[in-house]
Amino acid sequence: MIEFWRFMKIIHIVGARPQFVKAAMVSRAWNSSDEEYIFHTGQHYSPEMSKLFFDELNLQKPDRNLNLGGGNHAEQTSGMLLGIDRYIEEIHPDHIVIYGDTNSTLAGALAASKRGIPLSHVEAGLRSFNRSMPEEINRVVGDHLSNFLFCPTEESKRNLVAEGIKENVYLVGDVMADALYFFLKIASKQSNILVSLDLQPKSYCLVTTHRSGNVDIKSNLKQIIDGLGGIDQPIILPLHPRTKKMLKVFDLHFSENVQLIDPVGYLDMLMLENNAECILTDSGGIQKEAYLLGVRCITMRDETEWVETVDAGWNYLAGADHEKISKSFYDFHPKEHRQQIYGSGDAADKIVQIIKSSLSGG
């Protein structure tokens, strides 16, 4: 007798680089006889970089790409919702998987819910408790509409329970940890980013900044620029398209110690992170990767959804404050041993097993 789950139709909703990485790990764990579809909203609006990530991660090419990069939140989300809904009507999936906290996550959750399609949220339960962040709204709505919630940490599971979500909540570990453990070995063999930038290990800082609360507000972006200018060490900054745009709008410029480079692929980014002496960022994913790699992290936000990294003493919240940014670079040095708080690298396997078991009546 052929088991039903072997012929499930699954749609992965992605739209930004971290989601490509997460979907790649879940897809690797899936049975090849299932029908998997990659729906790309195009929220990441650099086609070349998007293709590079898919190639590096060996993730199948998107079956549909809306190319909806740019625009405000309402324009993006409404366009995604309509596109995903039409795709659901065309494919008739058995299950939809959403990832993280982007507008793509929100649109996927709404579309699946309206169509009555079982929905899984990978990276459920994260909370910054700052409702002014679009990502926080996306997380909350995505969680409350999902049928299966896969939590990366104990803290994220507790957040869901506190909101009354107790059914089908699973602590599985973090798929980004799966990816880091898997791809770091490949990156060390294939990436030549350190050579091309003439960098020695532990001789530079790595910076990323792209959050709208930082780069879309002139005073905050200037605070970050001034804070980085107070660091007496070479800084490498892969420049996000949004940040690049707002630098021109505000007529702001980084100091000479900051080397601006084009965005890089996942393997090159892992090598830059792994060999940095310090990482300064407003990215949630990079905070977590810094912890996994044992690199001290200064977060240029007032709060974080990855509170475990702060509690463990490896992440410092400096906000968009130039004095705190530069001072913490010199004063903040982790001393505590790093605990394994994001799983052992098998989160994707657990996720796939749970989904298949539930849909096959197991």
CATH number at residue 304: 3.40.50.2000
Residue 336 falls within a domain, yes or no?
no
Is there a single domain that holds both residue 152 and residue 192? no
Is there a single domain that holds both residue 225 and residue 200? yes
Q: Looking at the predicted structure, is the pLDDT value of residue 225 above 90? A: yes
Quote the CA–CA distance of 144 and 164 in Å, as a whole number: 9
Q: What per-residue confidence (pLDDT) applies to 60?
A: 87
Is there a single domain that holds both residue 147 and residue 204? no
Query: Using an 8 Å Cβ cutoff, are 199 and 236 in contact?
Result: yes
Residue 223 falls within a domain, yes or no?
yes
Length of the chain: 362
Over residues 129-148, mean pLDDT: 96
Over residues 202-226, mean pLDDT: 96
Band of residue 3 on the pLDDT scale cut at 50, 70, 90: very low
Over residues 289-315, mean pLDDT: 96
Is there a single domain that holds both residue 100 and residue 198? no
Residue 160 falls within a domain, yes or no?
yes
Residue with tokens 């999902």: 146
Domain residue limits at 255: 182-331
The domain tally of the chain equals 2
Is there a single domain that holds both residue 169 and residue 191? no
Quote the CA–CA distance of 280 and 208 in Å, as a whole number: 7
Q: Residue 350: which H helix or E strand, with range?
A: helix 347-359
Residue 337 falls within a domain, yes or no?
no
Is there a single domain that holds both residue 141 and residue 194? no
pLDDT in tens, 159-178: 999 999 999 999 999 999 99
Strand partners, 208: 281
Angle at the Cα of 12 (from 116 to 153), degrees rounded to 5?
Answer: 95
Quote the CA–CA distance of 54 and 225 in Å, as a whole number: 32
Is there a single domain that holds both residue 192 and residue 310? yes
Residue 101 falls within a domain, yes or no?
yes
Q: What is the DSSP string of 116-157?
A: T--EEEETTT-----TTSHHHHHHHHHHHH-SEEEESSHHHH
Query: Using an 8 Å Cβ cutoff, are 124 and 149 in contact?
Result: yes
Angle at the Cα of 336 (from 296 to 225), degrees rounded to 5?
Answer: 20
Is there a single domain that holds both residue 147 and residue 11? yes
Over residues 67-85, mean pLDDT: 90
Is there a single domain that holds both residue 102 and residue 153? yes
Is there a single domain that holds both residue 186 and residue 166? no
Strands 35-40 and 9-14: parallel
Band of residue 68 on the pLDDT scale cut at 50, 70, 90: confident
Q: What per-residue confidence (pLDDT) applies to 131?
A: 92
Band of residue 217 on the pLDDT scale cut at 50, 70, 90: very high
Residue 338 falls within a domain, yes or no?
no
Is there a single domain that holds both residue 224 and residue 100? no
Per cent of the chain over pLDDT 70 is 95
Q: Residue 55: which H helix or E strand, with range?
A: helix 47-56
Is there a single domain that holds both residue 135 and residue 252? no
Question: Any idea which residues carry the catalytic annotation?
Answer: 210
Residue 200 falls within a domain, yes or no?
yes
Quote the CA–CA distance of 312 and 81 in Å, as a whole number: 39
Quote the CA–CA distance of 36 and 13 in Å, as a whole number: 11
pTM: 0.89
Q: What is the dihedral of CA 171, 177, 182, 186, to 10 degrees?
A: 170
pLDDT in tens, 238-265: 999 889 999 999 999 999 999 999 999 9
